Amino acid sequence: MFMRPLRMHPGALRSACIPVASLSVWLLAACGSGPTPAPRPAAGDSRAMASEQSRGLAAQGTVGVPPFAANGNDTTLTPLAFALAELVSTDLSRSGQVRIVERARLGEVLRELDLAATGRVDSATAPRVGHLVSAQRLVFGSVESLTDGRTLRLGARIGDVERATVSNAVDARAPLAEILAAEKALVFRLFESLGVTLTPAERAAIEAQPTKNIGALLAYGRGVQRYYQGDYRGAAAEFSRAARLDPSFREARAMQQHVRSYGAMGTGTPVAIPGIRPLDGAISSTIDRLNRPLDLITNVSRTVSSALDPTFPASQATVIITITRP
């Protein structure tokens, strides 16, 4: 069973019915002349519904950090971009005021939208990604080598999915050997942009550098990239390599443990079907998560402010069609 997102103008949902027998019930309801009343839940379902509503309210303050884009021809930039985005996500999560999108959920959506290989989530693709992962804000950034050949620049902006606006860019610069110092500087500027005040303990935890070994950092980045591509065994091997290069690299060991269970289900080399996505043993989990009715409901019902960023499109809806194989 495969699912592909189909872009439609929001108004088309009311004016056209799609004659596909396996379309989800909620999509068929959207073709009616008026809203369809929700079925009254059974008494035993009330607790589950309350939990789901609570989780939805909590998601309003959720922040997603997709992989950064690598700008340039340097082959080290791509794994570095994946590594730095993951470390930025980890550091942002150290504040009790910030809730980060679940890593597995973000990976599934990136694979579904064919963005996992490059990590190029920008102001054009951020609204769609943000809606699908139920994030209110998305941090999308980049890594590039400057003209002097020695300095790297980290840049990031915050896209507000609700208001369809993008914040001013924040950046930090450093040579490769000190790139994690630049990552810390970028994180503190992102906290300022988010309006978050850190406690002394949170600030101290963020300032601690996970590794000073560049080889371990690059192996970690390759592991993150393979994780997002669905190659869990390959990711585990890269995280293991990073941990061997720097035994004190706790984040690498934690990620190795995290993907080990996925690797037991997946394959070393996922099979790719052009135009769809990589396939592996965890595909059923991906389909189940992407088949959440609340995704579409969230996408077509959110209000958008009138002060739009011109590069941040808001007039779109995502329709998920389920096709059952014979």
Q: Which pLDDT score, from 0 to 100, does residue 281 have?
A: 43
**Residues sharing a CB contact under 8 Å with residue 113, sequence separation 6 or more, in sequence order:** 5, 125, 128, 129, 132
Could you tell me whether strands 137-145 and 165-166 are parallel, antiparallel, or unpaired per DSSP bridges?
Answer: unpaired
Asked whether residue 94 is assigned to any structural domain, the reply reads yes
Contact 164, 170 (CB under 8 A): no
Residue 171: exposure state from Cβ atoms within 10 A (0-12, 13-18, ≥19): middle
pLDDT per residue rounded down to tens, the chain (326 residues) = 444 444 444 444 444 444 443 333 333 334 444 444 445 444 445 444 444 433 433 334 799 999 998 988 888 899 999 999 999 999 999 999 999 998 888 888 888 888 777 767 777 777 788 888 888 899 989 999 998 888 999 999 998 888 878 888 899 999 999 999 999 999 999 999 999 999 999 999 999 999 999 999 999 999 999 998 888 889 999 999 999 999 999 999 999 998 886 655 544 444 444 444 444 444 545 554 555 444 444 444 444 444 556 566 655 555 555 555 55
Q: Which pLDDT score, from 0 to 100, does residue 313 have?
A: 62
Asked whether residue 196 is assigned to any structural domain, the reply reads yes
Torsion angle, CA of 183/186/192/197, rounded to 10 degrees? 10
CB atoms within 10 A of CB 311: 12
Asked whether residue 9 is assigned to any structural domain, the reply reads no
Q: Please say whether the dihedral angle defined by the alpha carbons of residues 11, 17, 20 and 22, taken in this order, is positive or negative.
A: positive
Domain that holds residue 160: 60-209
Show the DSSP H helices in the chain as ranges.
12-15, 25-30, 46-58, 77-92, 103-112, 126-132, 179-194, 200-207, 214-229, 232-245, 250-265, 283-290, 293-301
What does 278-315 look like in DSSP terms, one character per residue?
EE-TTHHHHHHHHT-HHHHHHHHH----SS--TTS---
Torsion angle, CA of 181/184/185/188, rounded to 10 degrees? -170
DSSP state letter for 31 = T
Nearest to 259 by CA among 284, 286, 234, 241: 234
Q: Which two tokens stand for residue 276?
A: 């769809």
Q: Which pLDDT score, from 0 to 100, does residue 265 have?
A: 53
Asked whether residue 267 is assigned to any structural domain, the reply reads no
Distance CA 157, CA 242 (A): 29
Q: Which two tokens stand for residue 126?
A: 């951020």
Could you tell me whether strands 137-145 and 151-160 are parallel, antiparallel, or unpaired per DSSP bridges?
Answer: antiparallel
The CATH code of the domain that includes 161 is: 3.40.50.10070
Half-sphere exposure of 99 (CA within 13 A, CB side): 13
Nearest to 182 by CA among 156, 203, 213: 156
Q: Which pLDDT score, from 0 to 100, does residue 119 have?
A: 66
Asked whether residue 120 is assigned to any structural domain, the reply reads yes
DSSP state letter for 196 = P
Asked whether residue 161 is assigned to any structural domain, the reply reads yes
Number of domains in the chain: 1
E strand or H helix at 49: helix 46-58
Asked whether residue 28 is assigned to any structural domain, the reply reads no
Distance CA 239, CA 249 (A): 10
Q: Which pLDDT score, from 0 to 100, does residue 317 have?
A: 54
Residue recorded with tokens 């996922």: 270
Q: Which pLDDT score, from 0 to 100, does residue 258 have?
A: 86
Asked whether residue 65 is assigned to any structural domain, the reply reads yes
Residue recorded with tokens 């978050």: 196
Q: Which two tokens stand for residue 32?
A: 């009616």
Which amino acid, 279?
L
Q: Which pLDDT score, from 0 to 100, does residue 309 have?
A: 60
Distance CA 186, CA 166 (A): 17
